[in-house]
Structure 1
Amino acid sequence: MPRAICLGETMAMLTPGGRGSLETADSLHLGVGGAESNVALGLAAMGVSTEWVSRLGADGFGRRIRNELERHRVGTRGVQLDEARPTGLYVKVPGDADSGTGMLYYRSGSAASAMSPALLDDPEVAAVVADAGLIHLSGITAALSDSCRDLLLELLSRPRRSGQRISFDVNWRPALWKGRDSSVLQRLADLSDIVLMGKDEALLAFGTDDEGRLRELLPTPEVLIIKNESTSAIALERDGARQEVPALSVDVVEPVGAGDSFAAGYLSGVLSGLDQRLSLRRGHVAAACTLTVHGDRGPLPDDEDLDHILRCSDEEWASLRVTQGRFLVGQA
């Protein structure tokens, strides 16, 4: 029985070899990437039994994605293969220190963009959805197509069994929403139990980054998690409680994937019964590990070290510096 499922598109990912540009690269590295599967992989790395639900093309890219997730102990029995539509593809475009890493997406007409409410009638999908304690979704899926939007609305509108929660990461992607009505994000978020967003995303998606106003716009969720870039993360609970945890000091190598790692860390804390403070710390630790590597995930501390980091004093937490996956005390 999965404790968590993550639903959304995963694509094949191409990255120029070395740090060269697309124009000069002699080779391209083939990997996989997708916000929701990144969260699934992060949860699995933290010992959470996790399934990923989606659609893939019946092609080599699709088989590679499924094999990669299974290799990292993420279940895929809720994945459908499409004989007519391809697996989506994106390309990482390395930039300089100022511009960062860019992306080129080739996902129009992909197998995942054809997800619809009918996906929930698949017996395998229905089984994992019914059994999961946590269902993780994101705004990316809603932007892929009208049928994907309807899938999320249907899933969020259905009665949940006792104890089951749905988390929703806003994951604002302006290119995907171009020409589409993004106002549905507010409805999707307000139908969820846990909502995650960057402060910058809140301003673009909801027109405000003010905490009080966001709570007025989204009164239903148990908690709103607002990530304030490298400064802090804030939990705004429905009963008015507020918890803010400073971010760790990190020697950043690449920012890609850090938000998904934060989500996986935070949600693993929630599933483990940790309070807001410790769950937010867990999110910061996971994000920091990813920020210090090239790629979508960084290795986590072992269980004993992680527990020590999570439960250290506020003074020790403030003095931590993360570099190359190592947590150094007194060097912030």
Structure 2
Amino acid sequence: MERLPEAVCIGETMAALLPDRPGPLEDVDTFRHSIGGAEANVARGLVALGVPAAWVGQVGDDGFGRRIVRDLARAGVDTSGVLTDRGRPTGLYVKEAGQGGSVLHYYRARSAGSALSPALLDEPSVTRVLSHADLVHLSGITAALSPGALDLVRTLLHDRTRTQLVSFDLNWRPALWRDADPGVLVPLLKAADIVLLGADEARAVLGTSDPAELRALLPEPATLVVKDDAHHATAIPRPGPDSATVTEPALRVDTVEPVGAGDAFAAGYLAGTLRGHGLRQCLRLGHLAAAATLVVHGDHGPPPPAALVRTLLDAAPGEWAATTVSAAGFGIGSGGAKR
């Protein structure tokens, strides 16, 4: 029997060209193909953690678009809700790697992904995957692409089944908002069930990174998750007699490259939510997924073996805090044994 996705991630996925060595673009001779997009990254991360997931979006009728669909399908992501726009190209970004970090050059104006709109929801293939999903995942990137894409996000947040969760990752990209009003993000955040945002993003958009102040500004979502880079993450549930804020420290990681870690954290946290874990275990699963991505080049790091995940989700606070992660593996607890 066909297994339908439990989670559907909707947004733009772009082709990516990654340089074979650091240096100015004009001095780089060889690039390798990859793909990039926050929602597709989350879908891949969910699948890697055993949660059936789909990516829904639009690509151009070109080689970049076909490669995106092929590579996501090979990773186990359901792509049956991906549409082909024959009049617009697939978006593209090119990475420029330097000593001080990487710069991404985007070529996404008038792309197929930027033309997303509520009309997407009239497609039978999209209706099919959405109607069976327990979770729909969105981000602020999509809201910034175009008026039509913003309308799509609004529609998905307000028109859903009674039991369906909607998560929203702020994913603040200042360059995308130069000619748009970022104030539209606040009602989107308020309409979601789960809101994920970095502390730096929260300061930029909402004026504060303090978890209690953020909860006062956004009282509606069931849970706010505030990520403070490599330090910790905090989950703030809606106030109630049995609710309590939970903060969990990040693991100590020998970082190779930070790209994709935020999406990996989102995938881990959402996977824990769908599997019925408590807030602390959801945060830990987010940290584990992010750590696995931080120690590889590219946007995706394979999560640790399931048995190791179970051990760390249930580890005592001291053992969790003493765990280290590097390209060689996970050093568990104070003994530092690699696994």
Question: What's the secondary structure of 2:27's corresponding residue?
Answer: coil
2:59–2:84 CA contact under 8 A, matched in 1: yes
CA drift of 1:213 comes to 2.1
1:206 alignment counterpart: 206
Paired residue type of 1:297: H
1:149 alignment counterpart: 150
2:78 alignment counterpart: 75
> Which of 179-188 and 169-178 deviates more?
179-188
Distance 1:208 1:18 in 2: 38
1:191 alignment counterpart: 191
- Is residue 167 of structure 1 aligned with residue 170 of structure 2? no
CA drift of 1:267 comes to 0.5
Residue of structure 2 aligned with 1:9, choices 12, 22, 27: 12
2:125 alignment counterpart: 124
- Is residue 288 of structure 1 aligned with residue 283 of structure 2? no
Paired residue type of 1:156: L
Question: What's the secondary structure of 1:55's corresponding residue?
Answer: strand
1:56–1:112 CA contact under 8 A, matched in 2: yes
Paired residue type of 2:238: R
CA drift of 1:34 comes to 0.5
Distance 2:274 2:22 in 1: 38
The TM-score, its normalising length taken from structure 1, stands at 0.97
Paired residue type of 1:243: V
Deviations 1:152-185 (A, max 9, x none): 01111114232x1000000000000002011111
Distance 1:126 1:206 in 2: 34
- Is residue 109 of structure 1 aligned with residue 110 of structure 2? yes
CA drift of 1:325 comes to 5.3
Distance 1:249 1:310 in 2: 16
Paired residue type of 1:307: R
Distance 1:94 1:2 in 2: 36
Question: What's the secondary structure of 2:285's corresponding residue?
Answer: helix
Paired residue type of 1:320: T
- Is residue 85 of structure 1 aligned with residue 88 of structure 2? yes
Residue of structure 2 aligned with 1:306, choices 305, 309, 313: 309
Residue of structure 2 aligned with 1:24, choices 20, 24, 27: 27
Question: What's the secondary structure of 1:328's corresponding residue?
Answer: strand
Residue of structure 2 aligned with 1:324, choices 323, 327, 338: 327
Gaps of 5+ in 2: none
Distance 1:153 1:331 in 2: 49
Deviations 1:52-90 (A, max 9, x none): 100000100000000000001101111110111000000
Query: 1:234-253 to 2 correspondence within 5 Å?
Result: 234-239=234-239, 241-253=244-256
Deviations 1:173-209 (A, max 9, x none): 0000002011111111110000000000001111221
2:143–2:153 CA contact under 8 A, matched in 1: yes
1:299–1:325 CA contact under 8 A, matched in 2: no
Deviations 1:123-176 (A, max 9, x none): 1111211110010000000000010001101111114232x1000000000000
1:300–1:325 CA contact under 8 A, matched in 2: no
1:9–1:36 CA contact under 8 A, matched in 2: yes
CA drift of 1:309 comes to 1.5
The TM-score, its normalising length taken from structure 2, stands at 0.95
CA drift of 1:32 comes to 0.5
Question: What's the secondary structure of 1:14's corresponding residue?
Answer: strand
Deviations 1:194-233 (A, max 9, x none): 0000000001111221222211221111100000111100
Question: What's the secondary structure of 1:244's corresponding residue?
Answer: strand
Q: Once superposed, what is the RMSD of the aligned Cα atoms?
A: 1.2
1:245–1:277 CA contact under 8 A, matched in 2: yes
Count of residue correspondences: 329
1:170–1:196 CA contact under 8 A, matched in 2: yes
Distance 1:108 1:223 in 2: 34
Question: What's the secondary structure of 1:74's corresponding residue?
Answer: coil
Runs of 4+ in 1 over 4 A off after TM superposition: none
Distance 1:184 1:278 in 2: 32
Paired residue type of 2:225: I
Paired residue type of 1:312: A
2:225 alignment counterpart: 225
- Is residue 100 of structure 1 aligned with residue 101 of structure 2? yes
Distance 1:176 1:331, change over 3 A: farther
Identity, % of aligned pairs?
Answer: 51
Residue of structure 2 aligned with 1:60, choices 57, 60, 63: 63
